[in-house]
Amino acid sequence: MPSPAPALAGTGVSSAGTVHANLTAAGLYEHAIRRGEGRLSADGAFMAVTGVHTGRSVQDKFVVDDPEVRDKVWWGPVNRPLAPEKFRGLAAKVRGWLGRRPVLFTQDLYAGADPAHRIRVRLVTTNAWHALFARNMFIRPPREELEGFRPDYTILHAPEYEADPAEDGCRTGTCIALSFAARTILICGTSYAGEIKKSIFTVMNWLLPERGVLPMHCSANLGRAGDVALFFGLSGTGKTTLSSDPERSLIGDDEHGWSDGGVFNFEGGCYAKVIRLSREAEPQIWDASHRFGAVLENVVADEFGHLDLEDASLTENTRACYPLDFIPNTVPGGQAGTPRNVVMLTADAFGVLPPIARLSPAQAMYHFLSGYTARVAGTEKGLGREPQATFSTCFGAPFLPRHPEVYGKMLAERISRDGADCWLVNTGWTGGAFGTGRRMSIQHTRALLRAALDGSLARAEFVRDPFFGLMIPKAVPGVPAEVLNPRATWADKEAYDRTARELVGRFEKNFETFAGTVDEEVKAAAIRAAA
């Protein structure tokens, strides 16, 4: 039954229309299909097309320049300031526009599996499928906890509403604006559902450091011996794929906190890239994407609903969103102990980094602050079809409201205190740069990770890479020796040396930003990496 106006309590939205609060997946399916918001796949997944926005609109994200937070925000291209009065004006218009819709959907959800550090989130949206997306992605409270639910943060989601740049202080009709003072997020002018997910990740990245908790853009899993592993990396580097290991239990695939008590998931679902998804290589993600309850974004299917995961005609950034319990071996409650291994994933488009290397704690902080990878086409609006080399500090710069050093220092302290082993893993190219070389074999990557996580790789014999100062294992069971040394995979050794030196230069130039803020040990690691 439609819920009355109390479903909008705390949002500032007043509606005379119908408000559907906290509908289940089945109820949201019914409305989404009846309203023509999408279609069903042959397996029962809901398929939505997001139009022109098939990735995050990074240039249209704003943080409100409230006096309470002004001195703590990392201002710049990641966090563009929006004047408080402009935010108030736009918020009033969005609330008014939502209030005039004949039907609204709300979902009351948690972010943060640890009750000591979670926040309560209320989403107000015009579309049933966006409500289903949020219900899949965040943590669904037990029914008894919905009574009297009051949000800590509210998302006002108006995908069909266009902002006015001249009046609202934004760049285009698309605007994602976050006010920490008002605890409100406005999303308008885009139907890409990832904006909902990442807006709350940004909130958690703001709140948790002051509580002594490190927020992280990483996946996490748990071994049978109780060992926790973290996988840092941007979209397309393999976080979801590599953490969804049938031999280990999944804690979560994208966002976590590291507290004194251990690791906890921020979310209750997964948001996996599915372009060219292989059933053989990624059976868990495949199965989760082919069933009732999953939401597929911009995935192509034939007239009978049979998916074509090879088809990138809409975007390379095709996605599946599904609840964590669609994965058969997840950690109940989304919490586990302190990490034994920290893995930093990169998709090296230059093809010069090794498939795996052991990092010292100082090198780990260096590579964490560097955040080198390749942005994969379609992950952000405006990218071309070829991967582009980039540095995204902390492997998540677009979601960091505070200065990167805050997170870098916290990571270094956690690694030192808990004694975690650290690894750099290249899931990108080998035998040459993109266009000449080939993508790293996932079978080889999995074999290398198994050796790292079971502790055997730490006891291997290593050699130092002359360009980056990385420690590369000489032999790993199941992986050809020549694969371990990237120079050996290139037919043209001089071309490898030249390309490696070029990438070292990029690392060096990028790290100039942090030269005055890190300690001497990390500087020394940087010097070795750029030697």
* CA-to-CA dists, residue 147 to 6, 156, 339, 497, angstroms: 11, 21, 36, 63
Helices 25-34 and 128-137, packing angle to 10 deg: 150
Catalytic residue among 235, 315, 370, 430: 235
* Cα diameter, the chain: 71
Catalytic residue among 56, 61, 101, 358: 56
Distance CA 61, CA 178 (A): 8
List Cβ neighbours of 372 (8 Å cut-off, separation of 6 or more).
Answer: 346, 348, 389, 390, 391, 506, 507, 510
Distance CA 20, CA 1 (A): 8
Is 501 assigned a catalytic role? no
Catalytic residue among 95, 117, 122, 198: 198
Is 273 assigned a catalytic role? no
Is 198 assigned a catalytic role? yes
Residue 475 CB: number of other CB atoms within 10 A? 10
The helix/strand/coil state of 484 is helix
Cα distance from N-terminal residue to C-terminal residue, the chain: 67
β-pair partners for 502: none
Catalytic residue among 130, 135, 319, 409: 319
Is 409 assigned a catalytic role? no
Is 254 assigned a catalytic role? yes
- Counting DSSP H helices and E strands in the chain, the numbers are 14, 30
Compute the Cα dihedral for 193, 199, 205, 211 and give only its sign: negative
Is 517 assigned a catalytic role? no
β-pair partners for 184: 154, 179
* CA-to-CA dists, residue 121 to 155, 185, 474, 499, angstroms: 7, 10, 49, 47
Rg over alpha carbons for the chain, rounded to the nearest Å, is 23
Catalytic residue among 240, 289, 360, 427: 240
Catalytic residue among 239, 367, 381, 446: 239
Catalytic residue among 80, 118, 122, 217: 217
User: Catalytic positions, please?
Assistant: 56, 198, 217, 235, 239-240, 254, 319
